[in-house]
Structure 1
């Protein structure tokens, strides 16, 4: 039976009104989109130029494409779907666009997060599998699980509603899609499995790193580096917690919302949906893109910093020598200085840095 509008309540407004709309969520999404995308592109470019492009980089390509698509969609929905303004000022077309955004993220989020986790697992395989057969088995099993995660949740997203387009029809959704609790269960399960996968990626390399024959300080540094790559688990944990806490919130709902027809079919917690869903989701996906990319960029960032430091020292030394000596300094001293600098630059081998910096199975005691 259709749930029609109650004639005794206020109908959704017809005229678009953005006077009270807040744009902070859309701005947040744009900033993180730019930072994460640039970081990932730099990672891929440097890996390609240094001829160290591996399977983990190939997996990052579809992850980046899905992430960009999800971010653009999220930005558009937050800008055009009435998110960030009082619910009683949201028009019916805006509510429908809101529902379309929820369906799109149900497809794109598992794809983006899944491909990022595949990339991280392939990076672990690149680093640890040659030295540890058990680690190789665990990584292979984890890859299969992530593949099932992607296929399962993306497939299920197509059955959120029968037919699917009724999902974004607020007054028809209950008949074709069931109660809002069904969507809550699906979302909570999706977030929970995502968090479990992120925690696995966080703890998976710790045992192998601890067993390496290297100084304790360096082992701790390596663990911190890998933790950076899986920092998305922090955002995933927050997203799951805030989603559960906010869904049952009723104490801060403005009473004016209950005078609206849409209040009978739209959960009142949607007044904070930009902060409880879109920002945490963008934070998680962005961290999942940025973390592994920074790990891959680490050798190049270090090399660039060394070259920059050398150039600054060379320029500063030449300037000081010119001011202090001004013609009295022997030419041979200048030649010695530049020859020393040239030898230092020759020590750089960026083409191998990305591999040798992380192939930890080559480490031996005392070396």
Structure 2
């Protein structure tokens, strides 16, 4: 149907374009009745092509998302004392999906039997509107998802080829800010406790080194100590090794940890070694999990906006669907972190 120039698009135009009743369009756009997937897709496609979705989405009046697949590593599903980071993110996301009546289909993505092709197959079988992927940023997995054409957003990960949208904390900037603050407190011999994690963790190391360069300091006193993983006992073991090798702290006055879990382990090892915090050594973490408030001394940390990451991912997914006709490039959204200062750091005189 040819539309008069300048006339606003209405649901009757969408109904004509999709060859359905006006009431059907209303039900699809408002999520007020079950509609077959084929008809719903036809209506959404027509509304997008006519420019209706982009205009109305800003008013939050269209239920673009009805069903999503949530692909997560298996260690994020059971709630335990070591996965507060992922659990907090997922809890906020699930509450938002419940509020908006979005059906969530979970899938453990790190099992040997689950390939990218298998994930896409399951997503298509479930007729999902989009995929949210947490932590897993393997290149082969992202390739398969991108090739499928199913709208997808990667949370807390990096797609180095920029094939799909992603949302992540400002890891590098947050680490640089925290390290710069330690330098402002007079610390020059700083140890970065980290592990060989994914690229998001390596960004924290990059930010640590950035701060030394920005302040014109030698990297010779920007020490990096590797733990075997992110668990507290692994952080403790790494500090034990450092102390044994250097017969003490080796001049280090501050430890910046790539995760709060590592910081908890580091603090336990320092206590066993008779190292006073923060008098002898200051400690800073990264994540902002609740346990940091309960340590002695209370842990200073870089707080990640976990309550906002899932909501931001849903918004990116909606925008990908709404603007699909224009085939926009992949978006990478970084959320700002803040420094939470507690008692685990002291200023050097």
TM range (shorter): under 0.3
Larger fraction in helix: 1
Q: Larger Cα Rg: Structure 1 or Structure 2?
A: 1
Q: Higher relative contact order at CA 8 Å, sep ≥6: structure 1 or structure 2?
A: 1
Query: Comparing both structures, which one devotes a greater share of its residues to strand?
Result: 2
